[in-house]
């Protein structure tokens, strides 16, 4: 069978033809490879350049490649954070006719890192906690849409900076399956696998001297269970309120929004006696602040970045003469108009003050969030608001040069 590239989401699929498909992936030349940090994988995985794009190439059987490709596409349609599938390559043979394994191609997630690469120095407890929080949120989101992962671990996840936290992305869907709804037993199986896998991964870091002495691998691994269960309970539990306290329903919805989730459907039922009401969120979608920022400004960011930017946008709006929230006469500017003015006059000018060579692979939203954080620290120290211009100048000189580039080239292991 001749070489076949089944590409469904590549900007320039012909660029994939230039890669060395006649060679085993381990023998590809440095000319095509990009030396980026890689996680642990049971398969051979390499980063390669295809035109202007960096892709991850994984050698795997045709059945597994096609299946995983389909699952990743399904997750994308369900708005689950995962790597983007680009193509499946089959019909690979060497120059002398020997068959080679097919390959799955995914798009490199800009600014992301496998967990091991984040801790070339000692991993501190706060960082471990933030990673586990991100992984728990990802696992809950997967289970809400009926996806049983089957191999949840730090190794099968990529992490991106998201304001003061991390956002977790699924990178390996090989063992997953999608169903209309998961049973409690299926969810428990995923959680238990996560606990065991994370304990082993942290023990491995501990053996290599990359774990803070105060971090106990078993205790921290068990924490993923409580984090998951607390979040799942908050998102799915049935609440019973006194009939005259129906505002508690609004408070519950706001709490879900604060967690970054929207209630897309709900069930409210009055008791036969009429003295209580029962509230059950039926469908919960993640990305509340992301969607709000996208609607107002057209900017697509991570959830915590969106929350940070929305807070700054709200504060800025109150300084505008034509800001009139709840104006019954409709004389004030619409929020969308003010939001786009904020993007033009505040957000973009601030981000553009950061030279591209220093900004590197940081997303503009992350850059702006860090400027806001730095402005707050400087203002606290000075006892007054120092303003964004002074914060940008100090950030440029004292902070940004010392932040490592997550996409920096790394030497290949021996």
Rounded to whole angstroms, how far apart are CA atoms 50 and 83? 17
Percentages of the chain per state (helix, strand, coil), in multiples of 5: 45, 20, 35
From residue 368, alpha-carbon distances to 102, 276, 284, 310, 375 in Å are 42, 46, 29, 12, 10
In whole angstroms, give the CA distance from residue 100 to residue 80.
32
pLDDT at 186 over 90: yes
Residues 3-7 have a mean pLDDT of 78
Q: Is 8 helix (H, G, I), strand (E, B) or coil?
A: coil
In contact, 263 and 255? CB cutoff 8 Å = no
Contact partners, residue 156, CB within 8 Å, separation at least 6: 39, 149, 170, 171, 172
Where is average pLDDT lowest: 122-126, 148-152, 252-256?
Answer: 122-126
Tokens of 131: 């990673």
What's the CA angle centered on 284, arms 278 and 286, to 5 degrees?
145
Angle between helix 125-144 and 217-236 (nearest 10): 40
- DSSP summary character for residue 111: T
Torsion of CA 121, 122, 127, 132, to 10 degrees: 110
pTM exceeding 0.85: no
Predicted local distance difference test score (pLDDT) of residue 412 = 44
Band (411; pLDDT cuts 50, 70, 90): very low
The most confident of the ranges 56-65, 105-114, 280-289 is 56-65
Q: In which residue ranges of the chain is CATH 3.30.200 found? A: 4-107
Residue partners of 393: CB distance under 8 A and separation at least 6 = none
Q: Could you give the maximum distance between any two Cα atoms of the chain, in Å?
A: 81
Whole-angstrom distance, CA of residue 332 vs CA of residue 321: 9
Q: Is the pLDDT of residue 2 over 80?
A: no
Q: How many whole angstroms separate alpha carbon 247 and alpha carbon 169?
A: 36
Taking 60 as the threshold, does the pLDDT of residue 330 lie above it?
Answer: no
331-384 pLDDT, tens digit each: 567 888 899 999 999 999 999 988 877 776 778 999 999 999 999 999 999 888
Overall CATH class of domain 4-107: alpha beta
Q: Compute φ and ψ for 47, nearest 5 degrees.
A: -95, 135
Residue 327: its pLDDT value, please?
57
* H-type alpha helices, 184-246: 184-207, 217-236
Q: Where in the chain is the domain with CATH 1.10.510.10?
A: 113-236
Burial of 14 from C-beta contacts in 10 A (0-12 / 13-18 / 19+) = exposed
For position 349, what pLDDT does the model report?
Answer: 92
User: Rounded distance, CA 391 to CA 371, Å?
Assistant: 7
Per-residue buried b or exposed e for 56-65, using 16+ beta carbons within 10 Å of the residue's own CB: bbbbbeeebb
pLDDT at residue number 64: 92
Instruction: Residues 113-236: name the CATH superfamily.
Output: Transferase(Phosphotransferase) domain 1 (1.10.510.10)
- Structure-token pair, residue 374: 């730095």
Phi-psi label, residue 156: left if phi above 0, alpha if psi -120 to 50, beta otherwise: alpha
| Phi, psi (deg, nearest 5) at residue 209 | 75, 20
pLDDT in tens, 191-217: 999 999 999 998 988 888 888 888 899
With CA atoms as reference, report the closest residue to 194 among 164, 157, 225: 225
CA 242 from centre of chain: 38
Q: Tell me: the pLDDT tens digits for 31-79?
A: 888 877 666 677 888 998 888 888 899 999 999 999 999 999 999 998 8
SS (H, E, C) 159-187: EEEECCEEEEEECCCCCCEECCCCCHHHH
Radius of gyration of the CA atoms of the chain, in A:
24
Q: Is the pLDDT of residue 115 over 80?
A: yes
Residues in the chain, total: 414
Question: What is the residue whose two structure tokens read 């496998």?
Answer: 114
């Amino acid at each position: 069978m001749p070489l076949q590239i089944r590409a469904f989401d590549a900007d320039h699929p012909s660029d994939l033809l230039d890669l060395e498909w006649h060679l085993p992936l381990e023998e590809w030349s440095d000319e095509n490879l990009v030396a980026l940090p890689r996680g642990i994988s049971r398969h051979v995985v390499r980063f390669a350049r295809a035109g202007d794009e960096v892709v991850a190439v994984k050698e795997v059987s045709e059945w597994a490649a096609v299946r995983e490709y389909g699952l990743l596409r399904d997750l994308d349609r369900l708005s689950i954070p995962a790597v983007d599938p680009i193509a499946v390559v089959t019909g690979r043979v060497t120059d002398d006719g020997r068959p080679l394994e097919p390959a799955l191609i995914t798009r490199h997630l800009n600014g992301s890192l496998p967990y091991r690469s984040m801790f070339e120095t000692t991993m501190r407890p706060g960082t471990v906690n933030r990673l586990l929080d991100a992984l728990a949120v990802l696992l809950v989101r997967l289970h809400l849409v009926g996806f049983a992962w089957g191999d949840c671990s730090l190794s099968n996840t990529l992490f991106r900076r998201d304001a003061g936290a991390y956002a977790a992305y699924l990178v390996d869907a090989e063992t997953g399956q999608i169903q209309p709804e998961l049973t409690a037993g299926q969810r428990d199986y995923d959680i238990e696998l996560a606990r065991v896998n994370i304990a082993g991964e942290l023990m491995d870091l501990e053996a290599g001297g990359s774990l803070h002495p105060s971090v106990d691998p078993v205790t921290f691994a068990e924490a993923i269970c409580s984090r998951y269960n607390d979040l799942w309970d908050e998102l799915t539990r049935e609440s019973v309120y006194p009939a005259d306290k129906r505002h508690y329903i609004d408070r519950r919805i706001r709490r879900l929004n604060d967690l970054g989730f929207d209630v897309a459907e709900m069930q409210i039922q009055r008791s036969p006696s009429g003295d209580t009401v029962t509230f059950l969120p039926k469908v919960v979608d993640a990305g509340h602040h992301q969607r709000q920022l996208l609607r107002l400004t057209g900017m697509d960011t991570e959830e915590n970045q969106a929350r940070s930017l929305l807070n700054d946008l709200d504060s800025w709006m109150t300084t505008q003469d034509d800001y009139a929230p709840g104006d019954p006469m409709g004389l004030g500017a619409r929020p969308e108009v003010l939001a786009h003015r904020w993007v033009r006059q505040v957000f973009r000018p601030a981000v553009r003050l950061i030279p591209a060579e220093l900004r590197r692979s940081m997303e503009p939203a992350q850059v702006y969030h860090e400027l806001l954080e730095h402005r707050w620290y400087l203002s606290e120290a000075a006892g007054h608001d120092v303003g964004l211009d002074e914060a940008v100048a100090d950030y440029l000189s004292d902070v940004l040069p010392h932040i490592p580039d997550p996409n920096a080239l790394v030497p290949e292991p021996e």
